[in-house]
Structure 1
Amino acid sequence: MTLELRLAARTDAAAISRLLVANSAANGGTLYGDWSEAVVRTWIEIGTPIVVAIDGEQVKGVLFSAENADGAAAPVKAMFAACPAIDDAYAYGPICVDASMRGQGLPKALYTKLCDYMGERRGLLFINRSNVGSLKAHQKMGMDVVAQFQLGEQLFDVLQTPAG
């Protein structure tokens, strides 16, 4: 299998949506939100870097980013509010890796490719404290917990990507 890492194209929207929906909370995963094809296509069309790992026609991994919390969901707004002193940060995530690719370093590869587009800027991400696997994976990539926040009954850690 040869993976191509690149920015998502409009034609990738359906495959990205399938991966995200398969890993959504509604299907036993940890992703929350509307990941319909239309929503994914909109994310792609606004031009914020979204990195995909493609094997043929299949998306094996995806990493979203966003410039700021403008128009973002409540957890993203809460994340930025928890870290007001970090200048010029972007929102990292969500990230999703196909079950067949887990444990093979794909999150690091997606993040490294994202850095090509974001330069020296730092990213902020939030992870539900109950998602121990994701917390460990991101800490292994050198990301540190810098804050916490709570939404409803759920506790989240805010992590910061390493400096350039």
Structure 2
Amino acid sequence: MLQIRLASPDDLDGIAALLQANAPSRGGSLTGEFPSDKVAAMLRSGMPVVAALRDGRVVGALFSSAAAQPSPPPPVAAMLRAWPGGPDAYVYGPVCVAASERGQGLPARLYAVLRDSLLGAEAILFIRRDNAASLRAHQRLGMREVAAFALDGVDYAVLSDAGHSKAEDLEHNP
């Protein structure tokens, strides 16, 4: 059985394991590494984190963070220079889904819980241009490319859901 809910501190180890399994050091497409201490800090940030659990095991996670951060990581800083978003904007991501759950619409379900938690505020995210699957998945969610940037020789697209409505949620995810 799949359960999708706001993450709790009890989910820390499962979320950290999922993110590390998909980190660049293991051939994954996430931008950056996510050891337990970094995940713990993200969980304590005060911004919502959504977890998907199948039979008690974390199989998906979607983070959010404030757009106004004192010292954002370099890719987030570059993204916000390219597209700062509106006054209610937040940083969407990372999002990570276990290999066993891919292709089943889990990102849309995680995103729906996050949108409800943030009352429809504007999500801003970046995706590596060479991550075609993630670009397609987010476009299916109604997000659109609004800017681009390059960092350390890697090209990124910046996406936003500004103007996204609940009606679009139903259109994209009946």
TM above 0.5, yes or no, is: yes
Establish whether residue 104 from structure 1 lines up as the match of residue 104 from structure 2.
yes
Give 1:10's aligned residue.
9
Give 1:142's aligned residue.
142
Asked whether the 8 Å contact 2:9–2:43 carries over to 1, the reply is yes
- Cα deviation digits, residues 101-122 of structure 1 (max 9, x gap): 0000000000000011111211
In structure 2, list runs of 5 or more residues that go unmatched: 166-174
Once residues 120 and 141 of structure 2 are traced to their aligned partners in structure 1, the CA distance between those partners, rounded to angstroms, is 16
* Change beyond 3 A, Cα 1:35–1:18: same
Query: Partner letter of residue 24 of structure 2?
Result: A
Off by >6 Å, runs of 4+ in structure 1: none
Give 2:172's aligned residue.
none
Asked whether the 8 Å contact 1:69–1:76 carries over to 2, the reply is no
Give 1:61's aligned residue.
60
Query: Partner letter of residue 135 of structure 1?
Result: L
Asked whether the 8 Å contact 1:21–1:36 carries over to 2, the reply is yes
| Corresponding residue SS for 2:113 | helix
**Deviation at 1:69?**
4.4
Determine what percentage of the aligned residue pairs are the same residue. 42
Asked whether the 8 Å contact 1:69–1:77 carries over to 2, the reply is no
| Corresponding residue SS for 1:54 | strand
TM-score by length of 2: 0.89
Give 2:160's aligned residue.
160
1:15-34 paired onto structure 2 within 5 Å: 15-34=14-33
Once residues 102 and 84 of structure 1 are traced to their aligned partners in structure 2, the CA distance between those partners, rounded to angstroms, is 30
Q: Which moved more, 1:128-137 or 1:36-45?
A: 36-45
**Deviation at 1:72?**
1.6
Give 1:39's aligned residue.
38
Cα RMSD of the aligned pairs, angstroms, is 1.2
Asked whether the 8 Å contact 2:85–2:122 carries over to 1, the reply is no
TM-score by length of 1: 0.94
